[in-house]
Chain A
Amino acid sequence: MSATPAPAGRTLLEVNDLKKHFSLGGGLFGRSTRVLKAVDGLSFTVARGETLSLVGESGCGKSTVAKALMRLYAPTAGQVVLDGKRIDDLSAGALRPLRRHIQMVFQDPFSSLNPRMRVRAILAEPIRNFGLAHNAADLESRLASLMERVGLPREALGRFPHEFSGGQRQRIGIARALAAEPDLIICDEAVSALDVSVKAQIVNLLRDLQRELDLAMLFISHDLAIVEHMTHRVAVMYLGKIVEIGPRRDMFLAPKHPYTQALLSAVPIPEPGAGRTRIVLKGDVPSPIDPPAGCRFHTRCPHAFDRCRVEVPGLDPVGTGHFAACHLNDAAAPARAA
């Protein structure tokens, strides 16, 4: 189960068999009878300076991963190892100073900034909390350089969030994450709420920052075209599990899991008459409360055969650093069933 690829470079974050289950009320007398397995045994690593993208449709658990890593949710099971140190079992107080190393950029640029705080106070909060500034002048110069980094005028420090557009607010959100001088930034759908032209600005900003500051990034998104543009490696999630993970090139040019193949072919291409065969999946994603037995994807898979309905496929190597959970890639598998 822990067969995750070991990428080149030093490992910064290691996630082993992470699970997050939510018990849904429903039973009489408050006893819960049903369990939603939002994240169900996830293992991956992120190296320093590397961007790993987590891709999937709504309800696949990708945002839950972000919240579990940030410890906004307590993980149900599994290990989170940051720079060689386990952090998932730390108390809130012991975790607080380590939070500096992992920061997050949120999806909604409107609700992620406190409407009653000026930009200066928003950005100063992490600097003060982690004791990064030596004195008032140092704080001021840090604030100024943060604003410059994200492309906002210095005067904007004195303004309130509602005085900014969506794209500018997202820049403030990025500056807040950078203020803590993190090693890893988790971007949870950080550009999906933005308009096309602004989205390009923020995507470029994130890419530049990642390169200039040598940040590791966990880029959670449903937009494959942007992911391809941003990432070093990709992990595809389906119903709380990783179905395929590998380097960008392999994932986009030679995906080995039918779900990855379908996701890629479903992306509309801005080119009229672009002739290509699209794999249109039947039906909808099943409920994570009662996921299908065997391979979770078998209800929608165009290649499903008997074995898929009973046996859970393991995440097995299909190339260098490339793993897929599909029986079709099994050497012993029968010829690709139609």
Chain B
Amino acid sequence: MSTGVSGAPLLSIENLQVHFRTPDGVNRAVDGVSFAIQSGETLAIVGESGCGKSVTSMSILRLLPEPPARIAGAIKFEGRNLLDLPNSAMRKIRGNDISVIFQEPMTSLNPVLTVGRQIGETLRLHQGLGRREAEARAVEMLTLVGIPEPRRRVREYPHQLSGGMRQRVMIAIALACSPKLLIADEPTTALDVTIQAQILDLMRDLKARVGAAIMLITHDLGVVAEVADRVVVMYAGRKVEEAPVRDLFRAPRHPYTRGLMGAVPKLGAVEHGADARLAEIPGMVPSLKGRIEGCVFAGRCPDVTDLCRAYAPALEPKAPGHLAACHYAPKDALAA
């Protein structure tokens, strides 16, 4: 069952803390998060806005300005701690070993450069390709991401492309240098459903062909179910649950994960005759300014007890490969 024991993970984040100094106190945006990504796997980081998922990805790329941010812990990529690297070494990693797809495909592309130049730029920078070679490779990349007439499209500017096409170009740029890790930050959130379906299909297809590990950051459980292998659920700057995707959806252990799943309306309510109200998670995310005593979810949890308010639960294995930070999460008899 377990494959993780063999070989070191591609990326491992250990006890990551990202705090921001703000006028009214220290914002503990990410507070003690650990997880690992194996080569070739797709890990989804799920959570609502402000849970720290994007801050985590930004700190992997070292894109957070320090100050106001201050980062502690370790981010090990192929054994090297990225937090210790000088900026010059970091520039070689960004866009080459680790690349990103952002949510907004319009603002992430430079409006005054052709699509071909933008794909070629990373190749010339990181792999020292000449102009001609870079352009040939750009055409190849556009073909890979399913853009029709790639030879014509390389000479076009971003505004000549539709939203779905631009996101394909973003993916082409991200994949141009054959990265080992692709960070996809809400890659389909700004897209329409029919275009989202195209991009999700493309991502699944590329996953098989390119072999890059993908860190998918999203709030959409539907997207998670479609592309992820493993899932980390974040809440209020902490990891509250981690599990293989099927286990998580079959038997979520943390009350927050259960709440999230109940709160998402599922297509097919008519068919199943279900016409009930959606399950709500009452209240709202606690302020991250200053320490939270006890469990971070205690304020909204339906099963909260005094124990939860007093003692923060540790992340514990509840089933093989399945971690949850809850005192009352059901626990299987563990094999290992």
Contacts and interface: CB of A to CB of B under 8 A. Distances in A.
Contacts of B196: 266, 268
A71 to B, nearest CB: 28
Interface stretch (B10-18, B32-40, B220-228): B220-228
A253 B280 CA distance: 26
B26 interface: no
A264 interface: yes
A248 interface: yes
Interface string A226-237: 101100000000
Interface string A197-208: 111110110011
B270 A268 contact: no
A284 B163 contact: yes
Contacts of B226: 268-269, 272
Nearest to B229: A272
B197 A266 contact: yes
Contacts of B249: 270-272
B270 A253 contact: yes
A41 B225 CA distance: 39
B193 A269 contact: no
B223 A273 contact: no
B201 A197 contact: no
Interface stretch (B258-266, B288-296, B317-325): B258-266
Contacts of B201: 278, 280
Interface string A280-306: 110011000000000000000000000
A196 interface: yes
A274 interface: yes
Nearest to A164: B284
A228 B48 contact: no
Contact of B281 (A200, A225, A270, A285): A200
A195 interface: yes
Contacts of A252: 267-268, 270-271
Interface in B186-227: 192-198, 200-201, 219-226
Contact of B48 (A197, A273, A284): A197
Contacts of A58: 192
Interface in A184-240: 195-201, 203-204, 207-208, 222-226, 228-229
A248 B246 CA distance: 31
Interface in A127-157: none
Interface string A55-96: 001100000000000000000000000000000000000000
A225 B162 CA distance: 25
A248 B264 contact: no
B265 A201 contact: no
Contacts of B261: 270
A270 B284 contact: no
Contacts of A201: 280-282
B271 A229 contact: no
Contacts of B163: 284
A253 B267 CA distance: 10
B329 interface: no
Given A57-B192, A204-B277, A248-B270, A197 B259 contact: yes
A268 B192 CA distance: 12
Nearest to A204: B277
Contact of B225 (A229, A271, A280, A284): A271
A224 B198 CA distance: 17
Interface string B30-54: 0000000000000000001100000
B278 interface: yes
A224 B164 contact: no
Contacts of A249: 270
Interface in B228-276: 228, 245-246, 249, 259-271
A68 B18 CA distance: 47
A267 interface: yes
**Most chain B beta carbons < 10 A, residue from A199, A207, A270:** A270
B279 interface: yes
B298 interface: no
A168 B283 CA distance: 10
Nearest to B188: A268
Contacts of B172: none
Nearest to A263: B193
Contacts of A262: 194
A57 B197 CA distance: 13
A228 B270 contact: yes
B162 A284 contact: yes
Given A222-B192, A253-B270, A195 B259 contact: no
Contacts of B193: 57, 222, 224, 263, 266-267
Given A229-B278, A264-B267, A195 B222 contact: no
21 contacts: A57-B192, A168-B284, A195-B48, A200-B278, A200-B279, A201-B281, A208-B277, A222-B193, A228-B265, A229-B278, A253-B270, A253-B271, A262-B194, A268-B222, A270-B221, A270-B224, A272-B246, A278-B201, A280-B194, A285-B162, A285-B192
Given A195-B49, A228-B269, 11 more contacts: A165-B284, A197-B259, A197-B281, A198-B48, A228-B270, A252-B271, A269-B222, A270-B264, A272-B226, A274-B225, A281-B197
Q: Which 4 A-B pairs have the closest CB atoms?
A: A268-B222, A200-B263, A266-B197, A57-B192
